[in-house]
Structure 1
Amino acid sequence: MATQNKNQEMPNEHLHELFVDELRDILGAEKQLLKGLKKLSAAAGSETLKKAFDTHYGQTEGQIERLKQVFSTIGLSARGKKCKAMEGLLEEADEIVESFQDQPEVLDAALISAAQKVEHYEIASYGCLVTYAKLMEHNEAEELLAATLAEEKDTDSLLTEIAMNEANTGAAA
Structure 2
Amino acid sequence: MTIKTLHDLFVHDLSDIYSAEKQITKALPKMIRAATDGNLVAAFELHLEETRGQIDRIDQLVELTEGVRIKRMKCHALEGLAEEAQEIIDEVEAGPVRDAGLIGAAQKVEHYEIATYGTLRALALKLDYQDAAKLLGETLEEEKATDEKLTLIAEEQD
Q: Shorter-chain TM-score: which interval?
A: over 0.9
In structure 2, distance between residues paired with 1:79 and 1:37: 24
Distance 1:21 1:77 in 2: 10
Provide the identity percentage: 47
| 2-structure distance, mates of 1:57, 1:79 | 23
| Residue 48 (structure 2) aligns with | 57
Q: Is the 8 A contact 1:41 1:50 kept in 2?
A: yes
Superposed counterparts of 1:73-112, under 5 Å: 73-75=64-66, 76-100=68-92, 102-112=93-103
CA RMSD of aligned residues (A): 1.3
Report the equivalent of 1:152. 143
Structure 1: gaps (5+ residues): 1-12
Distance 1:20 1:78 in 2: 7
* Alignment partners' CA distance in 2, 1:116 and 1:139: 29
Instruction: Tell me how far apart the structure 1 counterparts of residues 141 and 71 of structure 2 sit (CA, whole Å).
Output: 23
Quote the offset at 1:104 in angstroms: 1.4
CA radius of gyration, larger in: 1
Structure 2: distance between partners of 1:103 and 1:47 = 13
CA contact (8 A) 2:65 2:131 kept: no
Matches within 5 A, 1:115-130: 115-130=106-121
Which residue number corresponds to residue 10 of structure 1?
none
1: CA distance, partners of 2:72 / 2:148: 27
Q: Structure 2: where are the runs of 5+ without partners?
A: none
How many residues are aligned here?
154
TM norm structure 1: 0.85
